[in-house]
Amino acid sequence: MAFFKSATREVPEIRVAPRHIAIIMDGNGRWAKKRFLPRVAGHVKGVETVREVVRACIEQGVEYLTLFAFSSENWRRPAEEISLLMQLFVSALEQEVRKLQKNGVRLKVIGDLSRFDAQLQTMIRDAETATADNTRLTLTIAANYGGRWDILQAMNRLAQEQPEKIGQWTETELEPWLATHFAPEPDLFIRTGGEERVSNFLLWQLAYTEFYFTETLWPEFDAEAMKSAIASYQRRERRFGRTSEQVMEGKA
């Protein structure tokens, strides 16, 4: 199992390009509404944005891209919309896996998959296996994912593995059980669609991530918009608890 630096236990090395970008893809419904289209038309267009953003990440040297596709709270939506979203997920898997393979993209899906139907679960596992050796970009889709679920499932698994240490676990022991154990912590978090909230996304993992919010609706987010987000990231000073002077000394 690969081990990545934790922002709370050591100061990670900072690169010019963000290594890991995590995105809440929001605003599909509003994009459709503006055009007098059904909400699902926004989701269909949103899949095109995913393709473009994956391409842009590869070009910019981003190594990990994590996309929030369906939250544990999205089950509260109308049954018809949920069912259309599931169909879209299935068809995207059917159509895209070969392309991901060709472009060196490793696919991962995180979340409580037990609530999906058996066919979809098998497709997900097959797609992950087929792309497992690719190294250019790791594309993670968060589906039926919740940050609270993630922390809890990690704790429950740790309790099974190390019952003798209950009450004495450390961050280092918990992290390998998080759903994102195969990726470093995100450098940049983007939320499109104008809302400024985290909506139960990667609660543990975002501890020192830089946040970027944009009014742009997800179906209109493109390579140019991605560049602006990365440029904003590059203007930040990531201090990880230190003073600005200490950061400057470290660079000198």
| Residues near ligand IPE (CB under 6 A) | 24-30, 68-71, 73-74, 85, 193, 195, 197, 199
Cβ neighbors of 58 (< 8 A, separation 6 or more) are 103, 104, 105, 136, 137
Residue 30 beta carbon to Mg ion: minimum distance, rounded to whole angstroms: 8
CB 21 within 8 A of CB 183: no
70 binds, among Mg ion, ligand IPE, none (CB under 5 to 8 A by kind): ligand IPE
Q: Is 143 helix (H, G, I), strand (E, B) or coil?
A: strand
Residue 218 beta carbon to Mg ion: minimum distance, rounded to whole angstroms: 9
Select 76 or 102, whichever has its Cβ closest to ligand IPE: 76
Residue 55 beta carbon to Mg ion: minimum distance, rounded to whole angstroms: 24
**CA–CA distance, 77 with 166 (Å, rounded to integer):** 38
Residue 30 beta carbon to ligand IPE: minimum distance, rounded to whole angstroms: 3
Select 81 or 128, whichever has its Cβ closest to ligand IPE: 81
Q: 187 catalytic, yes or no?
A: no
Residue nearest to Mg ion (CB): 26
Of how many residues is the chain composed?
A: 252
Q: What is the rounded (10 degree) CA torsion for 40, 22, 220, 218?
A: 30
At 21, phi and psi to the nearest 5?
Answer: -115, 130
Q: 74 catalytic, yes or no?
A: yes
Cβ neighbors of 237 (< 8 A, separation 6 or more) are 244, 247
Q: Which of 26, 28, 144, 187 is catalytic?
A: 26
At 188, phi and psi to the nearest 5?
Answer: -130, 130
Select 73 or 215, whichever has its Cβ closest to ligand IPE: 73
Q: Which of 74, 103, 134, 200 is catalytic?
A: 74
Binding-site size for Mg ion (CB under 5 A) equals 1
| Positions in 17-46 near Mg ion (CB under 5 A) | 26
In one-letter notation, the amino acid at residue 31 is W
At 138, phi and psi to the nearest 5?
Answer: -100, 115
Interacting residue ranges for Mg ion, rule: CB under 5 A: 26
Active site residues: 26, 74
